Amino acid sequence: MIHVPVRTWMSVVLLAAAIAVLIAIPDFVETFTLMQFTLFSAMAVLALSLGFIWGYGGILSFGQTAFFGLGGYAYAVSVLNLGESTEAIAIAIALPAVFAAFLGYFVFYGRISDVYLGVITLTVTLILFNVVNATAGDEYRIGNAALGGFNGMPSVPTFNLPGNPSIVLDPTQGWYATGGALIVVYVLLRLLLRSRFGRVAIAVRENETRASLLGYDPRLIKLGVFVIGGAIAGLGGALYVNWGAFVSPTIFALSLSAEIIIWVTVGGLGTLIGPVVGCFLIQYLDSQIGTQQTFNSNLALGAILIVFVLLLPQGLIPTIRTIASRLVRLRPASGNATESAAKQPVGAAR
């Protein structure tokens, strides 16, 4: 892809705007709203991980929560044992990545694809849920950390300043860490997609056979994408635990797995900003629905999702882009191959 200067320039402006928002928000909102944003950002990191592997790698993982949960538990266990959060965060990224490498090897080198892949990742999540759930009781502890079964691990130490465990981040600093991590992950993924690896990954998604005929090993590429996705989800898990100072097996639950897929779909598959927007939107909706008493929460959320699918089948961001380009007619249609071709990476139509 030839870099259109305008786009690069715009990206820099948007990035600067995002950083400005990140820094300014604590001055404008109260602590509660800030903590809510912190949560949404942690979840958005998770949404990005799926948006990346699904939208750009064509890998529909039903079990992205497996890595998210592993990251959360890895963080909680290591911070309780090390007494310091910096290494714990590193472990929370590394462990899910290693796990993703094993699982990815097993899956991609077995030439498992499509819905079978989804079912395997789903099953792995269910196994983790069942296993962690069964760890109530004092005998299940790793070092200082009791796993706590279904009740989970309460009062997990939150992030501290690197190298200084006595200085724990306050909610504002926690927001900087989480929102900052989201921006960093987003920028890194953008850069990655512009690199050679990123372009090959998209090529593999578009046509595996053709990519392999051109001399690339689709299995290796997919494995790479999957591992990166796992690492990002793991980071999301650590950020999530930092937000609530708490981790429990419901982090592996099927409902959360499905919810991530919803975030990505609502925001727009095949974009990076889409999953983030979808995540913020749906999370906000979830929390608003619980404050009203008129309708059953399930009823309201279900109705909204259905209406959404029928009205905005492409997802939010692609729809907005289509409308914007129709209105402005500035952007040439060709510059956007990634987005337009990415609507259905998983071969659904036969």
Partner 1 sequence: MDLALIIALDVVNGAASLVLLCLGLAIIFGMMRVINLAHGEFVMLGAYATVISANAGLNIWIAMLVVAPVFVGVVGIVIERCLIRFLYGRLVDTMLATWGLSLLIVGLVTTLYGNTIKGVPTPLGGFSVGAYKSSYYTLFLAAVALIMLALVYVVMRRTRFGLVARATMQNPGMAATLGVNPSRIYMMSFGIGSAITGLAGGLLAPVSGVVPTMGAAYVAKAFITVVGGGSAILAGTASSSALFGLINQLGSYFTTPVFGEVILFISAIILIRILPQGISERFFKGSL
Partner 2 sequence: MRLPRRSVLKATLSASAALASPAIFTGRAFGANEPILVGSLHDQSGPIAASGVPMVDSLILAIEEVNAAGGLLGRPLKLVHYDTQSNIQMYSQYAQQLALKDKVAVVHGGITSASREAVRPTFDRFKVLYFYNTLYEGGVCDRNTFCTGTTPAQTVEKLVPYAMKKAGKKAYIIAADYNYGQITAKWMTKYAKDNGGEIVSVDFFPLDVTNFGPTISKIQAAKPDLLLSALVGGNHTSFYRQWTSAGMKAQIPIASTTFGLVNEPSTLDEKESDGVLGSYGYFEELTTPASTSYVKKLKAKFPDIPYISELAAATYEGFYLWVAGVKAANSIDRDKVVAALEGGISYDGPSGKVVLDHATHHAIRNAYLAVAKDKKWSVLETYEQQKPLDTAGVCDLIKKPTDNQQYVIKI
Enumerate binding residues for partner 1 (CB under 8 A).
60, 106-107, 110-113, 115-116, 119-120, 122-124, 126-127, 130-131, 133-134, 254-255, 258, 261-262, 265-266, 269, 295-306, 308-310, 313, 344, 346, 348-350
Report in angstroms how near the CB of residue 116 gets to partner 1 at its nearest: 5
Nearest to 30 by CA among 159, 169, 167, 171: 171
Residues 6+ apart with CB under 8 A from 183: 15, 18, 19, 22
Report in angstroms how near the CB of residue 130 gets to partner 2 at its nearest: 6
CA dist 272 and 275 (Å) reads: 6
CA dist 327 and 75 (Å) reads: 47
- In the list partner 2, partner 1, none, the entry touching 246 (Cβ below 5 to 8 angstroms by class) is partner 2
**CB nearer to partner 1: pick between 329 and 350:** 350
Report in angstroms how near the CB of residue 107 gets to partner 2 at its nearest: 25
- In the list partner 1, partner 2, none, the entry touching 161 (Cβ below 5 to 8 angstroms by class) is none
- Examine residue 342 and tell whether it contacts partner 2 (CB under 8 A): no
- Examine residue 286 and tell whether it contacts partner 2 (CB under 8 A): yes
- In the list partner 1, partner 2, none, the entry touching 328 (Cβ below 5 to 8 angstroms by class) is none
- Examine residue 324 and tell whether it contacts partner 2 (CB under 8 A): no
CA dist 218 and 241 (Å) reads: 35
- In the list partner 1, partner 2, none, the entry touching 349 (Cβ below 5 to 8 angstroms by class) is partner 1
Given a contact cutoff of 8 angstroms between Cβ atoms, the answer to whether 232 and 48 are in contact is: yes
- Examine residue 172 and tell whether it contacts partner 2 (CB under 8 A): no
The one-character DSSP state at 106 is: H
310 phi/psi in degrees, rounded to 5: -75, -35
Q: Where are the alpha helices (DSSP H) in the chain?
A: 5-28, 31-55, 64-82, 85-108, 114-133, 171-194, 196-206, 208-213, 218-244, 254-267, 273-289, 297-311, 316-328, 337-341
Both tokens of residue 230?
A: 């796992």
- Examine residue 290 and tell whether it contacts partner 2 (CB under 8 A): yes
- Examine residue 35 and tell whether it contacts partner 2 (CB under 8 A): yes
- In the list partner 2, partner 1, none, the entry touching 116 (Cβ below 5 to 8 angstroms by class) is partner 1
CA dist 162 and 173 (Å) reads: 13
- Examine residue 145 and tell whether it contacts partner 2 (CB under 8 A): no
Give the interface with partner 2 as residue ranges (CB under 8 A). Answer: 30-33, 35-36, 39, 130, 133-134, 136-138, 146, 148-152, 154-155, 243-246, 248, 250, 255, 286-287, 289-291, 293, 296-298
